């Protein structure tokens, strides 16, 4: 039997080992690390990708690790903040992104670069003057089951006409117009993003909980799209007061490449010792389902029920609906797979948490039986990604990750320390773990049953070791004692 005391002891041992590297960084705030700081940043504020991080934190990281040249990688590119900030600083950038939404946001923003801003601004101003979406036949909005009824009839008609008129434009303008429509979907709908799901306004006709939700004012489509097009035009032109032309490329504007797909499939395809820096923020182990919260946007981009299900199962395991990826081993070199499996199974803290959660599940005490499977899948898949990143980064290259710690059934899961321990086994030196001065709380359900606990939000700074990198894979890191837990690919 594993108890909460056992988990606390494992946590204390890890904390003691990394204590000198846990550094409270007063420069960092939750707003700076999250999307919140992008609300006033021109071009970064166009789409509210709430799970992303700010351009300010990327600049801070690049300055801190002294990344001045080369290629930056983000294996969970999201809306592309890392890529664009790096490119603005003259670095080349490569991102891997699974969700079509993230791919579309990046592609739309790229149309405004390299001299495209003036052309896009002129075309959008024409649309603002002519309002072509107020006439013509609409393009049907292909709803998913989860999005049916998200708009009033009038709003859906306006949206459909807008998308239909956009079809007749040049590919570049069509993409930017479609992107503008993506940006306003939430504010014109009966929905609000709420972490694990969409919250529905009582006017939608959807079944409500004990306390019906009133979203407040819902903007008419024309008002919302006009505001968004005006905002984009203003940002493309730059601020007249400051005279800043944001979209005039610097002497050397880095290239931006996006690889569509899962990092678990794409990382193994990348060359050894190639990247100079890695900055990323993966999905957190917190049950958030991107395919649900961004269902409206995915529906507009043409995703159907089959594709949504496939996306949900392909992404890094972070929801209770994720199942073990049966063919995952086919993507990885056997030596990477074996070393990753040993590191994962020998990590005492996560193994203790998994045993504890399985016990609580057997006792019928978990609020969702999929939690142990999700937590196991999350750490196993992240372990594989870390080992691949150790292979593809150059010796001495920094690896910087933004992530949150979590709590399940009273068990505090120190994600920062667990992943840092695994990173050491993969061949990284853990330079520091920046801790935000203000911790985050946990769910009311957790607090009600187990009391309040403060959870660290951290930025990990690892660096690929420069020693022993000429040895064959498998000899770079000396691994600790391996527990006999069985094959991960069979039991994850």
Q: What is the pLDDT of residues 285-314, one digit of tens each?
A: 999 899 999 999 999 999 999 999 999 999
CA separation for the pair 481, 228 (Å, rounded): 57
Going by pLDDT thresholds of 50, 70 and 90, the confidence category of residue 197 is: confident
Number of Cα atoms under 13 Å in the Cβ half of residue 144? 22
Strand-by-strand arrangement of the 22-24 sheet: 22-24, 428-435, 457-464, 398-404, 277-280, 71-74, 92-97, 256-260
For the cut 70, the answer to whether the pLDDT of residue 479 exceeds it is: no
- Whether the CB-CB separation of 318 and 378 falls below 8 Å is answered with yes
H/E stretch holding 171 reads: helix 171-188
What is the DSSP annotation of 67-131?
--SSEEEESS-TT-HHHHHHHHTT-EEEEEE-SHHHHHHHHHHHTTTTTHHHHHHHHHHHHHHH-
For the cut 50, the answer to whether the pLDDT of residue 347 exceeds it is: yes
For the cut 70, the answer to whether the pLDDT of residue 101 exceeds it is: yes
Q: What percent of the chain has pLDDT over 70?
A: 87
CA separation for the pair 116, 61 (Å, rounded): 29
In this prediction, residue 239 carries a pLDDT of: 38
In this prediction, residue 371 carries a pLDDT of: 96
CA separation for the pair 162, 221 (Å, rounded): 10
CA separation for the pair 106, 70 (Å, rounded): 21
For the cut 80, the answer to whether the pLDDT of residue 30 exceeds it is: no
In this prediction, residue 51 carries a pLDDT of: 77
- Whether the CB-CB separation of 367 and 445 falls below 8 Å is answered with yes
Among 63-67, 430-434, 438-442, name the one with the lowest average pLDDT: 438-442
Domains defined along the chain, listed by start? 4-99+260-283+321-491 (3.40.50.150), 116-237 (no CATH)
CA separation for the pair 42, 109 (Å, rounded): 11
Q: Give how far the C-alpha of residue 425 lies from the chain's centroid of Cα atoms, to the nearest Å.
A: 25
pLDDT tens across 122-140, in order? 999 999 999 999 988 999 9
For the cut 80, the answer to whether the pLDDT of residue 277 exceeds it is: yes
H/E stretch holding 293 reads: helix 290-293
Global model pTM greater than 0.85: yes
Instruction: Quickly count: other Cβ atoms within 10 Å of residue 272's Cβ.
Output: 10
Give the pLDDT mean for 195-214: 86
Give the pLDDT mean for 91-113: 95
The chain-wide mean pLDDT, for the chain, equals 88
In this prediction, residue 242 carries a pLDDT of: 36
CA separation for the pair 408, 278 (Å, rounded): 29
CA separation for the pair 106, 295 (Å, rounded): 18
- Whether the CB-CB separation of 321 and 370 falls below 8 Å is answered with yes
Q: How far is CA 156 from CA 115, 142, 150, 163, in A?
A: 34, 11, 9, 11
């Amino acid at each position: 039997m594993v108890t909460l005391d056992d988990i606390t002891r494992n946590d204390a041992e890890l904390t003691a080992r990394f204590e000198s590297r846990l550094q409270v960084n007063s420069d960092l705030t939750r707003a700076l690390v999250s999307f919140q700081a992008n609300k006033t940043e021109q071009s970064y504020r166009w789409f509210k990708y709430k799970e992303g991080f700010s351009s300010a934190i990327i600049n801070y990281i690049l300055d801190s690790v002294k990344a001045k040249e080369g290629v930056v990688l983000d294996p969970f590119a999201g809306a592309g903040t890392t890529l664009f900030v790096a490119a603005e600083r003259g670095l080349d950038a490569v991102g891997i992104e699974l969700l079509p939404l993230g791919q579309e946001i990046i592609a739309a923003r790229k149309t405004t670069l390299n001299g495209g801003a003036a052309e896009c601004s002129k075309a959008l101003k024409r649309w603002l003057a002519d309002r072509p979406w107020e006439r013509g036949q609409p393009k049907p909005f292909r709803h998913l089951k989860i999005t049916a009824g998200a708009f009033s009839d009038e709003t859906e008609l306006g949206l459909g006409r807008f998308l239909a008129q956009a079809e007749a434009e040049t590919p570049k303008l069509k993409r930017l117009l479609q992107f503008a429509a993506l940006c306003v979907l939430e504010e014109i709908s009966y929905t609000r993003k709420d972490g694990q799901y969409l919250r529905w306004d009582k006017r939608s006709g959807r079944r409500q909980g004990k306390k019906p939700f009133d979203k407040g004012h819902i903007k008419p489509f024309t008002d919302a799209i006009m505001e968004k097009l005006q905002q984009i035009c203003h940002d493309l032109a730059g601020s007249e007061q400051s005279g800043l032309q944001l979209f005039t490329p610097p002497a050397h504007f880095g290239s931006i490449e996006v690889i569509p797909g899962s990092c678990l499939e794409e990382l193994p395809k990348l060359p050894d010792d190639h990247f100079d820096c890695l900055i990323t923020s993966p999905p957190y182990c917190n049950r958030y389902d991107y395919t649900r919260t961004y269902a409206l946007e995915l529906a507009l981009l043409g995703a159907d029920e089959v594709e949504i299900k496939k996306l949900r199962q392909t992404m890094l395991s972070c929801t209770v609906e994720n199942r073990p990826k049966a063919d995952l081993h086919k993507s990885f070199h056997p030596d990477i797979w074996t070393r990753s499996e040993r590191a994962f199974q020998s990590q005492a803290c996560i193994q203790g948490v998994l045993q504890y959660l399985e016990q609580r599940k057997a006792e019928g005490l978990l609020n969702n039986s999929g939690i142990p499977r999700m937590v196991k899948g999350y750490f196993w898949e992240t372990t594989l990604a870390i080992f691949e990143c150790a292979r593809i980064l150059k010796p001495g290259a920094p690896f910087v990750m933004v992530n949150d710690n979590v709590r399940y059934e009273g068990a505090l899961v120190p994600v920062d320390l667990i992943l840092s321990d695994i990173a050491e086994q993969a061949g990284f030196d853990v330079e520091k773990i920046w801790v935000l001065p203000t911790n985050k709380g946990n769910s009311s359900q957790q607090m009600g049953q187990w009391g309040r606990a403060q959870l660290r939000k951290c930025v990990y700074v690892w660096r690929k070791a420069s020693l022993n990198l000429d040895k064959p894979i498998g000899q770079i890191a000396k691994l600790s004692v391996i527990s006999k837990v069985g094959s991960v690919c069979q039991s994850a």
